[in-house]
Amino acid sequence: MAASQYSIFTSSDVSGPGKIAGTNGDLIRVLTACLVTGYSGVTAVSWTNPIATASNIASYRPPSGSRLILVVGDDGTAAIGLGAKAAYFAGWETLAGIATPVGSGGGQFPTTAQFATVGAVVAVKSTTSDATLRSWILFADAYGFQFFVDSDSSGTAWMGCGFGDIFSAKLTTDTYRCMVNGNSFTAVDAANSMSDKIGIPYNAGSTNAYNSAGVTAHYVARTMGGGGGSVQVTPVGDASVVAATATNVSNRAGVIPFNPNTPQFIFPIRVFEFNGTYRGRMRGVYHTAHPTNNYTNGTTFSGSGDYAGKTFQVVGTAVNGGLWIMETSNTLDNN
């Protein structure tokens, strides 16, 4: 199978776009610099704007994979009451126009019926709608990206959102394998987002791992069979190595003792449709079976065993104690 590597962009990059604020258009400014134009000494990942950005509404298309389109509505109308501290992410199969809040076209995911009459998930920039600057990190390649922001500058409220292909169990014949992921309509409480539970599986304490009602902000363009339209999905971890509930916020429920001198137990984030169909896994995103208070944001480590030859970087913690582990080597699986 083909492999790629994430380019890593940060708010501390020299000559980069700098930190992000809770002001209109600021997420578009950062994404465009990293995905499309690049900046001094840093090459963009060759995404394009299918339609020119206007009035703080932007569109982005990756150069490889399913090549579906992301529209970012960053004009302050986002998330009903959140204003400029958040933006909208909406996926489209085809894009006809740019208009508030998320454009127009065909094959929208999520649909307006699925997500609060808007048809988009929330991409948090800040906990405040003002010019307060926040740190961020972006992992991006020709197939997709994941963006994380330290939303209140505490180091314990990192929020995540992303767009692009998953690694589909159906491989290249799954032409609608593109996923948009973000948050619900609450800027600080990430209970409906990966930033809440990435350090544990979504099915902790549940008998229905694949249709967790609490996870509402993750959608794929169509079913694995290619029919219908937008499908709600659930990212799922491994319940066998975590506590039975998600209430242990301080260490995020991992039960395998942590030893930095021995191999770490990490697991890919699998993606299930709500009907139980196993769709695939997120590209380069992992959770840990260890208590997450053993990790520090920015820490890097090497894999072993099944993950020999891979390297990883920790992002977070998030508002409820979870964190992300991102694959940083040139070993990302692609369909």
Q: Output the average pLDDT for the chain.
A: 86
How far separated are the first and last CA of the chain, in Å rounded?
A: 7
> What confidence category does residue 163 fall into, taking pLDDT thresholds of 50, 70 and 90?
very high
Q: Encode pLDDT of 164-179 as tens digits.
A: 999 999 999 999 999 9
Beta bridge partners of 181: 162, 218
pLDDT band at 190 (very low <50, low <70, confident <90, very high): very low
Query: What are 251-282's pLDDT values in tens digits?
Result: 556 778 888 888 888 888 888 898 889 999 99
Quote the pTM value: 0.92
- Give CA–CA dist 147/94, Å, rounded: 23
Whole-angstrom CA distances from 311 to 22, 101, 162, 259, 307 are 32, 38, 21, 17, 8
pLDDT at 247: 46
- Assess contact for 220 and 179: CB atoms under 8 A: yes
Cβ of 168: how many Cβ atoms within 10 Å? 23
What is the model's pLDDT at position 296? 92
CA distance 255 to 322: 14
Higher pLDDT, 246 or 258: 258
Residue 59's pLDDT is: 98
Taking the C-alpha atoms of residue 206 and residue 245, their distance in angstroms, rounded to an integer, is: 8
Per-residue pLDDT band at 240 (split at 50, 70, 90): low
| C-alpha–C-alpha distance, residues 298 and 9, integer Å | 13
Q: Are 280 and 144 in contact (CB under 8 A)?
A: no
pLDDT higher than 70, residue 79: no
> Count of alpha carbons within 13 Å of 117, Cβ hemisphere only?
1
Cβ atoms of 253 and 246 within 8 Å: the answer is: yes
In Å, how far are 41, 86, 257, 301 from 262, measured between CA atoms?
37, 40, 10, 11
Mean pLDDT of 32-51: 97
Under a CB-based contact definition with an 8 Å cutoff, are residues 75 and 25 in contact? yes
